[in-house]
Chain A
Amino acid sequence: MSTQPTVISDANIPWELPSRGRVGMFCLISAESAIFTIFVVAYLFYVGKSLTGPMPKDVLHAPIFFTICLLSSSLTIHLAIKALKRAKVGSFALWWFFTLALGATFLFGTAREWHHLIYDEGLIIQTNLFGTTYYSLVGLHAFHVTVGLLAITTVLLFALFGYVREEHAERVDVLALYWHFVDAVWVVVFTVVYVVGR
């Protein structure tokens, strides 16, 4: 059978399809959202049902500063991409570094909070339902932050060695999408754990 193309009458209309990177990342974000939803549902379901042990209102202190850090990193990553699209590679690297620093600060904050909870308040996964659900939900988010930071570090290294250029803006934007998702999840987790759940 020949493969001669059939002429289409609307051949003048340009054939534009979405970029596969963005579609793929949206799908990944949807899947991850579903996973987080289940952990959030479990957290909310078990609020107030622990039989023993420290209760949220006794031990939880809302990490406002670290939350501001994480949410600001969404802004810095956005600025980084904007710079890269204008071929300002140096500016890109700077904002990108700030994103990494802010994200790392957030992780440090989580680590500090957990250290306090474990050693000073005696709250671990085994303690009670609150312990199980809290560490699982916040830990799952922290894991995603970590993965994001590893990817951001890799890109930063590439940038420092001069491998990142204007034409890579779209690919880096896909990673930024992931990072925005991680921040959005934190908004939800923060609300559920430190506002509603107390």
Chain B
Amino acid sequence: MATDAISTFRPDTVSLPLVARLHDWVTTVDHKRLGILYIVYALVFLIIGGIEAAIMRIQLIRPHNNFVSPDVFNRMFTMHGTTMIFFVVMPMLFGFANYLIPLMIGARDMAFPRLNAFSFWLTAFGGILLYFSFLGANGLYGAGNAPDVGWFAYAPLTSRTFSLGHSTDFWTFSLLVSGFGSIGTAINIIATVFCLRCPGMTLARMPLFAWLNLVMAVLVILAVSPLSAAQIMLAVDRYLGGHFFDTQAGGSAVIWMHFFWIFGHPEVYVLVIPAFAFVSEIVPVFSRKAIFGYPVMVAATVCIAFISMSVWAHHMFTVGMSANVNTFFVLSTMAIAVPTGIKIFNWLATMWGGKIHFKTPMLFCIGFLFQFLIAGLTGIMLSAAPFTWHLGNSYFVVAHFHYVIVGGILFATFGAFYYWFPKMSGKKYHEPLGKLHFWLFIIGFHLTFDFMHIPGLLGMPRRIYTYEPGRGWDTLNLIATIGVFFQAAAILVFVANLLWSYFHGDTAGSDPWDAWTLEWSISSPPPVYNFATIPEVRSRRPLWDRKHPEDPDWKYE
């Protein structure tokens, strides 16, 4: 364990019995512990979701394969999507936000520590409820199992008529419960950022990480609520005989799509904006330069969040909306590319003229920049609605969004893991293993998702448990499946690195990266109270000011 003189993190807990230590963790309201709980929870589900993906890819390795039955495949893509979004990426990002925001703004905890714990356990319960469906969803007719309606659960496939048993209800209620947990965390983040900043830290001096998570939290509040509303309506339909989405009674299947995507589109920005936050912290430190254009970065993110509330129907271009409506959504979707591009340019400008240290966190951020650029460009292709009349609901879209979520968000998250692992554990990770993780993963990622674009261009729709030979899709699917094994190996290396380094790594010290934000001014891991004295700051990089008293930031801001 860390022997840093300032580290006073509960020396007595080392000798407590296991039950007492578990009780400590289960009843904790400390934001750092809850952050770690969220992250570990997300990692477990990452592996489960990855297994579901591997099952699908093995089924698709050749046409007319029968590795799994159609029913099992349909459950796999539903569970994979639902798990990855709600029980991997969101908890992972909430975990990092929880851990880091109070540290970065000089606070002792989040604004509402008990709400924090409650939100975590709601989310955790939601995930367990969803997976219980594998065992418990058999309805009266023995139908049902895990949900198999797709992660966006279009009506009327989700009605009692077409979705027998209770599998859809497990989808509905597990997300309703974890949705309330997400809203709770979002309220906490907003209140913390507005109400607990240390003296001198105006909003314009906050680390970009805090700013971007604030924007993300606002989006959660505005976006997850519509999903909750739609799910309540679905439950009314399924349990109380309501007709919200009952086309036989004059209801509309399209209105479910509108409600879902009013959630679904801002949701992807909820996922990606914290990834931007990671990159905005890591790239400056490893380029040894301040972030280029801080005010523009904030403004661009706020613009992105704002515009993201108006683009949702680009997921519905094939649904038969009028030309006027389609045209509007083409415009709003293309417009959002502008602030997003500005952010990429600002990160590049941060690297420009710097002294780049190619450590594992930076490698993952460079991967992020490359892949997010491509993902954004395929997004622009998809924003051209007539092009989406082909590409929508095809493997091109699947490749696009995996490029964003895996190539962008997961890469940035891996970077964050390596960057803040020393702070959270007090140990340095094993750098060569980190680089091995990076190379294995990027090879696997490109094998799978680069080649996945092409079957979409050749007419392969998504959500099919098998495909016909002779359409030119066979070899491409084979290559995509091979990539999975590289990615799986990379994840194993990653987990091994985390575990080995936690027990045997070198002591990290409080500031192994020579960084500039407040979390690096305290011990690793931080004491339970974070700061012995609440700091006062005068610029965006308080530690730069301390390390460079002859040339502090506040002279230039």
Contacts and interface: CB of A to CB of B under 8 A. Distances in A.
A8 B199 contact: yes
B537 A8 contact: yes
The residue in A5, A8, A39 that gathers the most chain B C-beta atoms within 10 A of its C-beta is A5
Interface stretch (B16-24, B316-324, B366-374, B528-536): B528-536
B289 interface: no
Contacts of B191: 20, 23-24, 27
A136 interface: yes
A116 to B, nearest CB: 20
Contacts of B224: 31
Interface in A21-39: 23-24, 27-28, 30-39
B221 A42 contact: no
A15 interface: yes
Contact of A15 (B112, B199, B221): B199
B86 to A, nearest CB: 17
B79 to A, nearest CB: 26
B521 A3 contact: yes
A118 to B, nearest CB: 13
A38 B535 contact: no
Given A6-B535, A30-B221, A1 B522 contact: yes
Interface in B254-271: 255, 259, 262
Interface range, B side? 35 or more
A100 B319 CA distance: 48
B150 interface: no
Given A15-B199, A31-B183, A42 B255 contact: yes
Contacts of A6: 200, 535-538, 542, 545-546
B135 interface: no
A37 B545 CA distance: 47
B522 A34 contact: no
Contact of A1 (B190, B259, B511): B511
A38 B259 contact: yes
Interface in B502-523: 510-511, 520-522
B162 to A, nearest CB: 18
Contacts of B140: none
Interface in A55-112: none
Interface of B: 6, 111-112, 115, 183, 186-188, 190-192, 194-197, 199-200, 217, 221-226, 228-230, 232-233, 236-237, 240-244, 249-252, 255, 259, 262, 510-511, 520-522, 531-538, 542, 545-546
Interface of A: 1, 3-11, 15, 17-20, 23-24, 27-28, 30-39, 42, 45-46, 49-51, 125-126, 128-129, 132-133, 136, 140
Given A38-B259, A136-B233, 11 more contacts: A7-B536, A8-B199, A17-B196, A18-B195, A32-B225, A33-B225, A34-B225, A34-B229, A35-B228, A129-B249, A136-B236
